[in-house]
């Protein structure tokens, strides 16, 4: 996944190391399987062959999560955008593609029409390339957190590339504070507190370039148009599971307030969207964060 992970655990001193090792093993293992860059990893093989059995439990879990999240975000989260992401050249040396190349990449995008999941296999249409980059870190945070708790942690927080999953064993209830980066500055735009669950942020500020006309073109691509997202400068999502928070945060950078207003009830617990207008940041909140102060 090309990123950093950080794990904080509360545990008896003699079990801490085993807990850290258990979580680290899980995150490394997932990194190896779900990267789109490695042609011999589970996802790389699927992209190359266009079909794969669902024997690998993590590949199955990612595909099943993607299948429901693509539909619940009205297609904004869509791993078949992989071909478009590659065409734009992210993360290295991105440039505006030729429109004929955009059209042909768009013709290979669309989860609902171009991916078929059966009970034991997955099939991709010719030329479709899946990219789990928008939710794999969240999924890894969920699995690593689960491994730490299974190994006996009293409480744990695992952050993978900025996506956080945390919680405590029954009766402990530690409260965690998570800072949310300002999408146009060095500092924080807000902090949120939670006892258990997941917080993920996506935005147009980590990986972008400016077009000759000065438009900000970021690495999150709208599968409907083939062009970089412009629905929000950043989106932060609180959910029970980090795979959900991560995918929905990415989708909201595309779909903005309209999508936030129309997500299925119960999918996420709270949303913070940041829009930047004439250089000034405006925030809007949904769900559990609705009553909190606005920035």
Interface with Mg ion (CB under 5 A)? 134, 202, 246, 249-250
Q: CB within 8 A of 50, min separation 6: which ones?
A: 123, 124, 125, 126, 128
Chain-centre distance for alpha carbon 11 = 29
Cβ proximity to ligand ADP: between 153 and 232 the closer is 232
Residue 155's alpha-carbon distances to 3, 28, 141, 175, 294, in angstroms, are: 23, 21, 14, 10, 30
Instruction: Tell me which residues in 148-167 interact with ligand ADP (CB under 6 A).
Output: 161-162
| Under rule CB under 6 A, residue 134 binds ligand ADP | yes
When CB distances to ligand ADP are compared, the closest residue is: 133
Position among 81, 122, 164, 199 found at the interface with ligand ADP (CB under 6 A): 81
Q: Minimum distance between the CB of residue 234 and ligand ADP, rounded to whole angstroms? A: 10
CA 80 to CA 223: how far, in whole Å?
A: 8
| Under rule CB under 6 A, residue 79 binds ligand ADP | yes
Cβ proximity to ligand ADP: between 20 and 160 the closer is 160
The closest of 230, 224, 218, 208 to 277, measured between CA atoms, is 230
Q: Minimum distance between the CB of residue 109 and ligand ADP, rounded to whole angstroms? A: 9
Check residue 205 and report its DSSP letter.
Answer: S
Kindly report the backbone phi and psi dihedral angles of residue 25, in degrees, each rounded to the nearest multiple of 5, phi listed first.
Answer: -60, -45
Structural contact between residues 216 and 210, judged by C-beta atoms closer than 8 angstroms? yes
Pattern of binders to ligand ADP over 230-249, x per CB under 6 A?
Answer: ----------------x---
Position among 56, 78, 159, 204 found at the interface with ligand ADP (CB under 6 A): 78
The closest of 49, 70, 72 to 223, measured between CA atoms, is 70
Chain-centre distance for alpha carbon 216 = 20
| Under rule CB under 6 A, residue 90 binds ligand ADP | yes
Cβ proximity to ligand ADP: between 206 and 257 the closer is 206
Which one of ligand ADP, Mg ion, none is in contact with 81 (Cβ closer than 5 to 8 A by kind)?
A: ligand ADP
| Under rule CB under 6 A, residue 220 binds ligand ADP | yes
Maximum CA extent, the chain: 61
Chain-centre distance for alpha carbon 264 = 18
Q: HSE on the CB side for 5, CA within 13 Å?
A: 27
Sole window of 11-19, 71-79, 141-149, 269-277 interacting with ligand ADP (rule: CB under 6 A)? 71-79
Other Cβ atoms within 10 Å of 190 Cβ, number: 19
Q: Minimum distance between the CB of residue 39 and Mg ion, rounded to whole angstroms? A: 23
Q: Minimum distance between the CB of residue 136 and ligand ADP, rounded to whole angstroms? A: 8
CA 11 to CA 164: how far, in whole Å?
A: 19
Position among 250, 260, 271, 286 found at the interface with ligand ADP (CB under 6 A): 250
Residues that bind ligand ADP (CB under 6 A): 76-79, 81, 85, 90, 131, 133-134, 161-162, 202, 206, 219-221, 223, 246, 250, 254
């Amino acid at each position: 996944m090309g990123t950093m992970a950080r794990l904080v655990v509360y545990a008896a001193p003699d079990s801490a190391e085993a807990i850290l090792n258990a979580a680290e093993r899980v995150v490394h293992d997932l990194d190896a399987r779900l990267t789109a860059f490695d042609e011999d990893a589970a996802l790389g093989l699927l992209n190359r062959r266009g079909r794969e059995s669902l024997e690998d439990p993590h590949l199955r879990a990612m595909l099943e999560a993607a299948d429901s999240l693509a539909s619940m975000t009205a297609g904004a989260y869509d791993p078949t955008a992989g071909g478009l992401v590659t065409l734009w050249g992210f993360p290295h040396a991105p440039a505006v593609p030729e429109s004929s190349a955009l059209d042909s990449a768009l013709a290979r995008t669309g989860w609902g029409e171009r991916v078929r999941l059966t009970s034991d296999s997955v099939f991709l249409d010719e030329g479709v390339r899946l990219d789990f980059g928008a939710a794999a870190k969240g999924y890894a945070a969920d699995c690593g957190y689960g491994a730490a708790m299974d190994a006996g942690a009293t409480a744990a927080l695992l952050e993978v590339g900025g996506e956080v999953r945390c919680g405590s064993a029954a009766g402990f209830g530690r409260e965690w504070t998570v800072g949310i980066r300002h999408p146009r500055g060095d500092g924080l735009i807000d902090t949120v507190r939670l006892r258990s669950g997941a917080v993920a942020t996506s935005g147009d500020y980590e990986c972008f370039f400016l077009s000759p006309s000065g438009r900000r073109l970021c690495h999150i691509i709208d599968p409907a148009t083939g062009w970089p997202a412009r629905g929000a400068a950043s989106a932060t999502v609180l959910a029970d599971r980090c795979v959900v928070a991560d995918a929905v945060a990415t989708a909201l950078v595309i779909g903005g307030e309209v999508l936030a207003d129309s997500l299925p009830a119960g999918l996420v617990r709270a949303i913070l969207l940041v829009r930047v207008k004439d250089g000034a940041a405006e925030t809007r909140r949904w769900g559990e964060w609705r009553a909190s102060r606005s920035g």
